[in-house]
């Protein structure tokens, strides 16, 4: 950190800047931080005393191109704006901001005024709206297609059963048995595509009852080879939810995590890590509606990660990263959570994948009915 002398900001100006919601940073001719207001301290999660005198470009995830841009703005006295730029916080986390740089003159010294607006919330809401829209569109399409497929399947199944009764030779009945079995398998697949036909049966449920049930089932499936780590917040109040649908959604995510660490060979070598984490999130927006308090359930694994080529389509039906996957688990889970006015999001990289379920804890609106859900 530089020890350059700080340029004092008059008390009246400092009072004005400290009451702005926009994060403000003032840089000297050497691009050292000379002043930052309260909003900038909050945004960067660092005190003014710690950052003052430091090179501001060290706050950027990619400092080199920003140093050149800042120097050019100073030398040419030309303002500029950059959008969706990553800043690096002191704990290593990244945030996204839009920022504007304006050259100013004060006491014969050239300075830069940097205004920053956090964009993570806006970007997340935009991604969420796109996710909900595409999920509803694809689900409507699949349901319509499934209805059209189910009708002739019933006819094929009935005709095959009648034909089997008329055949005297066992070797011929083997063929009708195959037709019947495969038709029944297709009908079961179509039923899964159609989704639940019963409305949600809501009751007060502790989220950890759901996670423990899913964890117990997956641990049993792996004969105890996979140990699931719990990081629970015991203060989370009960959620008004459908127990069966919530278990189904959570189990689908935990099974995906199990299959991811299994595919990476981590169960065999003992390095598999699957974490169930619950937290409370305040003032969280889902579907354009801000909820005062939301439960977040994270399912985290250190497996292979979601393939990059399908990362933006993983909630579409029939899209899977596994050769033998049906691509129905995630769409079914998303639909079940959406019926509770919640949302599932994914953040994945090789060796670290996190699926997050967001569920409103206290909502003034009731659950979505299946018809409402599909007609939006």
pTM for the complete prediction?
0.59
Residue 168 CB neighbours (<10 A)? 6
Nearest one of 237, 235, 215 to 227, comparing CA atoms? 215
Domain locations along the chain: 11-118, 120-194, 198-375
Which is the CATH superfamily of the domain at 11-118? PAS domain (3.30.450.20)
Q: Calculate the alpha carbon distances from 172 to 154, 155, 176, 373 in Å.
A: 21, 20, 7, 46
Q: pLDDT tens digits, residue range 320-355?
A: 777 676 677 788 888 889 888 898 988 888 889 999
Q: Please, which contacts does 122-126 make with residues 24 or more away whose CB atoms are closer than 8 Å?
A: 123/84, 123/96, 125/285, 125/288
Q: Is pLDDT of 102 > 80?
A: yes
Q: Is pLDDT of 3 > 50?
A: no
Nearest one of 70, 92, 95, 90 to 81, comparing CA atoms? 70
Kind and range of the H or E element at 152?
helix 120-166
At residue 72, the pLDDT reads 94
Name residue 300's beta-bridge partners: 275, 354
Q: Is pLDDT of 371 > 50?
A: no
Higher per-residue pLDDT: 171 or 97:
97
Q: Directed axis angle between helix 329-338 and helix 120-166, to 10°?
A: 120
Kind and range of the H or E element at 354?
strand 352-360
Residue 23 and residue 42 in contact, taking contact as beta carbons nearer than 8 Å: yes
Q: Average pLDDT of the chain?
A: 82
Lowest mean pLDDT among 54-58, 166-170, 219-223, 371-375: 371-375
Nearest one of 44, 341, 333, 327 to 195, comparing CA atoms? 333
Residue 105 and residue 66 in contact, taking contact as beta carbons nearer than 8 Å: no
Identify the three-state secondary structure at position 104. strand
% residues pLDDT > 90 (the chain)? 35
Q: pLDDT tens digits, residue range 51-60?
A: 989 999 999 9
% residues pLDDT > 70 (the chain)? 80
At residue 256, the pLDDT reads 92
Task: Quickly state the pLDDT bin for 367 (edges 50, 70, 90).
Answer: low
Separation CA 84–CA 95 (nearest Å): 9
Nearest one of 21, 17, 24 to 113, comparing CA atoms? 24
Separation CA 143–CA 317 (nearest Å): 10
The second-level CATH assignment, the architecture, of 198-375 is 2-Layer Sandwich (3.30)
DSSP per-residue letters across 241-302: EEHHHHHHHHHHHHHHHHHHHHHTTHHHHT---EEEEEEEEEEEEETTEEEEEEEEEEEEE-
Separation CA 155–CA 159 (nearest Å): 6
Q: pLDDT tens digits, residue range 12-35?
A: 566 566 667 789 999 999 999 999
Name residue 27's beta-bridge partners: 33, 112
Q: Calculate the alpha carbon distances from 114 to 34, 86, 92 in Å.
A: 11, 15, 22
Task: Quickly state the pLDDT bin for 4 (edges 50, 70, 90).
Answer: very low
């Amino acid at each position: 950190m530089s020890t350059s002398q700080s340029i004092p900001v008059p008390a009246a100006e400092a009072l004005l800047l400290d009451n702005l919601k926009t994060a403000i940073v003032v840089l000297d001719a050497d691009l050292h931080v000379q002043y930052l207001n309260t909003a900038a301290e909050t945004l960067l999660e660092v005190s003014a005393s710690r950052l003052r005198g430091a090179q501001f470009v060290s706050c950027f995830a990619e400092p080199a191109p920003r140093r050149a841009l800042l120097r050019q703005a100073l030398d040419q006295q030309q303002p500029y704006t950059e959008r969706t730029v990553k800043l690096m916080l002191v704990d290593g986390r990244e945030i996204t901001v839009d920022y504007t740089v304006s050259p100013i003159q004060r006491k014969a010294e050239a300075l830069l005024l940097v205004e920053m607006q956090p964009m993570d919330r806006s970007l997340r809401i935009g991604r969420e709206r796109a996710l909900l829209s595409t999920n509803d569109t694809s689900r409507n399409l699949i349901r319509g297609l499934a209805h059209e497929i189910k009708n002739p399947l019933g006819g094929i199944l009935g005709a095959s059963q009648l034909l089997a009764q008329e055949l005297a030779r066992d070797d011929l009945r083997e063929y009708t048995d195959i037709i019947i079995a495969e038709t029944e398998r297709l009908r079961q697949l179509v039923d899964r595509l159609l989704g639940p036909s019963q409305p949600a049966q809501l009751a007060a449920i502790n989220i950890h009852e759901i996670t423990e049930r899913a964890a117990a089932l997956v641990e049993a499936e792996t004969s105890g080879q996979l140990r699931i780590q719990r990081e629970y917040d015991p203060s989370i109040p009960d959620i008004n939810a459908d127990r069966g649908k919530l278990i189904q959604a959570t189990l689908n995510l935990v099974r995906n995590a199990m299959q991811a660490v299994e595919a990476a060979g981590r169960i065999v070598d003992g390095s598999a890590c699957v974490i169930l984490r619950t937290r409370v999130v305040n003032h969280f927006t889902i579907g354009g509606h801000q909820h005062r308090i939301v439960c977040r359930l994270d399912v985290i694994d250190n497996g292979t990660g979601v393939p990059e080529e399908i990362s933006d389509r993983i909630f579409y039906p029939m899209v899977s990263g596994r050769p033998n996957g049906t691509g129905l688990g995630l769409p079914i889970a998303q639909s079940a959570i959406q019926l509770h006015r919640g949302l599932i999001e994914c953040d994945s990289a090789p060796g670290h994948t996190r699926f997050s379920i967001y569920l409103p804890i206290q909502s003034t609106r009731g659950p979505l009915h299946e018809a409402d859900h599909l007609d939006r």
